[in-house]
A = this chain, B = another copy of it.
Amino acid sequence: MRLYNLLETDQARSRLALYLNHFLIFLILANVLAVIIESEPSIGRPHSGWFWRFEIFSVTVFLLEYLARLWCCIEKAEYQGMPAWRARLKYAVTPMALVDLIAILPFLLSLFLTLDLRYLRLLRVMRLMKLTHYFQGFNVFLSVIQKELKSITGALVVMLVLIVIAASLMYTLESQRQPEVFGSIPRSLWWAVVTMTTVGYGDVTPLTTAGRVVATFIMLIGVGLVALPAGMLAARFGEELRERKRSLHLHIEQALADGQVDEAEYQLLKDLAEKLDISDEDLEKNIALLKQSNRTGRCPLCGHQT
């Protein structure tokens, strides 16, 4: 019964839950750092005992966390009125639960199978994705990407088409001079990607005059195109910021309908502001602005009498 209560508070905002969260974030980071350092032979081999013990400790904690989350998931509002086993099964296939499972699976697998150490390490680094549990600052970020998915996919498709055409062009022009690196279209693709992302290693470069002239045009076009998706995301991001501010304005205006923002209304606005990633300071400034604009009868946007 005590365990159950502790688990429940995991969702609440008690002091214990906060410490638990910080401990788990720290453990994930320490764990990934340990995997990274251990992979360096000069460090990993002499201290393999310590790394092994830390790994066992971490997996035990993550396993307990996974089981505890699975146990108490039935308390969630969305699983109410379901039989316990169905709620748990439903929770087990959510992305969050799968990420938690992947974090402990490699260790369990390595007990029964003999995996290549390098693949095992890759799987253990994936524990970083457990951090998504604890980060809520990404929601602006994610909602922007989601809304722009169509345009970004469009830009990516255009880019892929251009990369394929660039690779084919260079294959046509350079394959006789440099058969090793431009001898087929798949081989030329490496050059095309390295060039159009402006990484430009320089391990493969055109040597013929025709190849260089065509490469010049590919670079000039590629550079602009590759920067577009990020620019479009940034533009939408600005739009998102403005929309959030408008939404806040609407709610402040409603709260100000009686000329005052009382305690309860202020708490509601604060919750909304937090959800929209708007700082408390900005909230106060906006309330003051709208109060003044109500008093003087001027539009808060253009300062004009209405």
Contacts and interface: CB of A to CB of B under 8 A. Distances in A.
A135 interface: yes
A157 interface: yes
A121 B171 contact: yes
A184 B209 CA distance: 14
A272 interface: no
A151 B157 contact: no
A36 B165 contact: no
Contact of A184 (B39, B135, B236): B39
A306 interface: yes
A259 to B, nearest CB: 12
Contacts of A195: 199
Contacts of A44: 184
Contacts of A36: 164, 168, 185-186, 189
Given A172-B119, A236-B238, A303 B246 contact: yes
A82 interface: no
Between A126, A138, A150, A224, the greatest number of chain B beta carbons within 10 A of the residue's beta carbon is seen for A224
Interface in A30-73: 32, 35-37, 39-41, 44
Given A35-B185, A235-B235, A238-B239, A303 B249 contact: yes
Contacts of A99: none
Given A122-B172, A199-B198, A224-B229, A32 B164 contact: yes
Interface stretch (A5-13, A105-113, A212-220, A260-268): A212-220
Nearest to A187: B40
Nearest to A219: B197
Contact of A39 (B37, B153, B165, B186): B186
Contacts of A282: 147
A201 B216 CA distance: 13
Interface string A276-290: 010100100000001
